[in-house]
Amino acid sequence: MFDNMLLGLHALADPALLLAVLIGVVGGVVIGALPGLTSTMGVALLIPVTFSLPPQVGLAMLGGIYCASTYSGAISAILLNIPGTSASVATMLDGHPMAKSGEPGRAISLATFASCIGGMVSVIALLFLAPQLAEFSLRFGSPEYFLLAVFGITVIASMSAGAMEKGLIAGALGLILSTVGTHPLTGTMRFTGGVPTLFDGIPLVVSLIGLYSIPEVIDLIDRAKGTQSGAAGVDKTSPFGTLRELGRQKFNLLRSSLIGIVVGIIPGVGCSVGGFLAYDAAKKGSKTPERFGKGASEGLVASETGNNAVTGGTLIPLLTLGIPGNPVTAVLLGGIMIHGLRPGPELFTTNADVTYGFIFSLFLSNLLFVPVGLLLARYGLRVVQVPAGILAPLILSLAVIGAYSLRSSVDDIWIMLAIGALGWGMAALAVPRAPLVLGLVLGTLAEGELARSLALVRGDLGAFAVQLVTRPVALVILVLCVSAIIHGIIQHRRNSKMLE
Amino acid sequence: MTTRTRDLIFASIALVLALAIAITAFGYPVGSSYFPRTLAVLMGVLAAFFGTRTLLAPGDDATRVPPLNLTALIAAFGGIAAYVVVLQLLGYEIATYLFLFLLMFWLGAVGWLKSLILAVAFTALLNVIFFVLLGVPRPDGLVF
């Protein structure tokens, strides 16, 4: 193995590979920072470019986009309260309040370095533990997936502390919205009103754009028309000053990285869930959980570390078993096969130079997006200085083209507008939006896997319940769910007593 | 409006929504709708519980919430709706340019000339990013 690693390390001496990583990282940072553009889009668009390149150079470019775009969604999430990608929704919870209180530079620096660390730890896991961790992913069947979705849903309660019923209602609404479209097993159309665009459900990216950008723009228009005060000034925090702050959060960084890696290994779960679970764990483990949601650095660090750690985790089942963990890795799988490579043991032996070269290029990508991201953010920080009367139309036009570009459908713009109206209503009624997003993300997984689990036992609820307690991985997740619910209830009672 | 009134409005809307969803969900076959049915009932129960708790809470909370600015609301939603309609008639570039120029000019952060320049520049930028670099198919207008 170490001989193969040296072969891979040697690939980093190739200037073409280094240039490919740089192009991928720069492209990824821009794509991730712009709401409406997704990592999947970036990777899919660059695959044809890689046809004429040697395999490790092409894969290095694609890996650069993947890592960088997962991180850079934090930039617009922090500055504009609009997630650049679905991975950065949890980042908004503390990133934007920190920016609004006059520390956007500190928020972006923390997010950048935390993402780098999360990404690097996950690549280390990929490098040394890929085959062993891949075996773990095979233990996940429908009951485990269902319980994992339930565990993710318990995070809704924790995120809504202080407004628990509102958060739970928002979460339930998100879960209901995820059922719009075709039932995963029976094919029944639900809540579509006969509109063909809704047959495939409500696209998550379009929902995120509507839910967050429309209320923000209305806020900006308010400000432009002079009914609200302006944003706080730009802070001049040195990026490297935040490294000392990160040094005090070693345990948070490690825990969030591990959560992200585990989430990434399980196919079909995604970066946004990694971010949310890491955020929730940080909140539960914090001595001052009441600061979360108001600009707590631990929350920001946890979500960014968690979501970037997912990237390396998703590559573990992809490279060892050929199982893509999310849409991006599904496209990457296409890229791998186009270059004549087959996922599996042979990728780490016969094609070791390509595979290890790719893995080491991911280290480089996670390092490179730090200066590229900080440089872009330095100009991005000026966004908060742009008059609201200019920013609002720009964001709206970006939201419209972003919503359209996902499926090249004008109907998606109307969906974005409808969800935007919902988002505005929620903001006006002080209902947290993050639980709705979590419900949207997890609903399809929860319902689909519940349906499959019940189909496997021919609808016998008793047999299904027995499975949940007799399968070892399912039992562990079930215990986690129960403890999360108990913790949520205790926290809620504590908060209620404090308010009295 | 006080926070109490706001919360009561939310509880009422949530309850009505839950009822509407439940009625629709119960119209689908059981095997295809146990998930939304359960969620609609849960949502309705939570809304009723929250509304009742808010009503029964001591009525001394006079915290007022900032008033809603309906002008901003109409500008945003009306603007986008008009934008999409014009986009389908006149094509992306003309619609985007008009939208940006008119909204920037109305918001008054910059004069008409700067609004014009910014509108053209940003339309061109979006065009290059999405249609040229990313290869997104341009939406067709009826005329252009």
- The answer to whether B72 contacts A408, with C-beta atoms less than 8 Å apart, is no
Query: Helix, strand, coil shares of chain B as percentages rounded to 5?
Result: 75, 0, 25
Q: Is the dihedral angle over the CA atoms A236, A238, A243, A244 positive or is it negative?
A: negative
B43 vs A: CB within 8 A:
yes
The shortest CB-CB distance from B32 to any of A186, A217, A388 is to A186
Query: For residue A393, which residues of chain B lie inside 8 Å, CB to CB?
Result: 99-100, 103-104, 107
B14 vs A: CB within 8 A:
yes
- The answer to whether A405 contacts B134, with C-beta atoms less than 8 Å apart, is yes
B51 vs A: CB within 8 A:
no
The whole-number average pLDDT for the span A231-259 is: 80
Residue with the larger pLDDT of the pair A301 and A480: A301
The shortest CB-CB distance from A169 to any of B14, B24, B83 is to B14
What three-state secondary structure class fits A431? coil
- Length of chain A equals 500
The shortest CB-CB distance from A190 to any of B28, B135, B139 is to B28
- For chain A, how many structural domains are there in total? 1
- The answer to whether A447 contacts B35, with C-beta atoms less than 8 Å apart, is yes
Q: Is the pTM of this model over 0.95?
A: no
- The answer to whether A188 contacts B135, with C-beta atoms less than 8 Å apart, is no
Return the ∠ at Cα B25 (arms to B21 and B31), rounded to 5°.
150
Query: For residue B42, which residues of chain A lie inside 8 Å, CB to CB?
Result: 172
- Residue A480, pLDDT > 70, answer yes
**Minimum distance, in Å, between the CA of residue B19 and any CA atom of chain A:** 12
Q: Is the dihedral angle over the CA atoms A119, A125, A130, A132 positive or is it negative?
A: negative
Query: For residue B3, which residues of chain A lie inside 8 Å, CB to CB?
Result: 430
The pLDDT assigned to A82 comes to 82
Chain A, nearest residue to B95 by Cα: A397
The pLDDT assigned to A278 comes to 93
Chosen from B1, B9, B10, B114 to mutate, greatest number of chain A CBs within 10 A: B10
Q: Is the dihedral angle over the CA atoms A214, A168, B49, A294 positive or is it negative?
A: negative
What three-state secondary structure class fits A190? strand
DSSP codes joined into one string, A75-102? HHHHHHS--SSGGGHHHHHHHHHHHHTT
- The answer to whether B46 contacts A186, with C-beta atoms less than 8 Å apart, is no
Nearest Cα residue to A328 out of A89, A43, A74: A43
- In the numeric block, the tokens 């802070």 are attached to A235
Q: How far is CA B126 from the centre of its chain?
A: 22
Cα A395 to Cα A82: distance, rounded to the nearest angstrom: 10
For residue A209, the enclosing domain spans 2-499
Strand segments (E) across A2-52: none
Q: How many CB atoms lie within 10 A of CB A496?
A: 11
The whole-number average pLDDT for the span B18-34 is: 92
A with B: how many residue pairs have Cβ under 8 Å apart?
161
The pLDDT assigned to A493 comes to 73
The pLDDT assigned to B109 comes to 80
Query: For residue B37, which residues of chain A lie inside 8 Å, CB to CB?
Result: none
Show the DSSP H helices in A322-383 as ranges: 327-338, 352-380
Radius of gyration of chain B (CA): 23
- In the numeric block, the tokens 């016969």 are attached to A350
**Per-residue model confidence as pLDDT tens digits over A302-338:** 999 999 999 998 998 888 878 887 888 888 888 888 7
Cα A326 to Cα A272: distance, rounded to the nearest angstrom: 11
- In the numeric block, the tokens 């047959």 are attached to A199
B17 vs A: CB within 8 A:
yes
Nearest Cα residue to B100 out of B73, B127, B131: B127
Region for A140 from its dihedrals, namely left if φ exceeds 0, alpha if ψ lies in -120 to 50, beta otherwise: beta
**Per-residue model confidence as pLDDT tens digits over A1-42:** 677 677 777 777 888 889 999 999 998 998 888 777 778 777
The whole-number average pLDDT for the span A389-399 is: 88
Q: Tokens representing A191?
A: 């809540």
Chosen from A165, A166, A431 to mutate, greatest number of chain B CBs within 10 A: A165
**Per-residue model confidence as pLDDT tens digits over A441-455:** 888 888 988 888 888
Q: Are A439 and A174 in contact (CB under 8 A)?
A: yes
- The answer to whether B46 contacts A173, with C-beta atoms less than 8 Å apart, is no
CB under 8 Å to A228, separation ≥6 — which residues? Answer: A219, A222
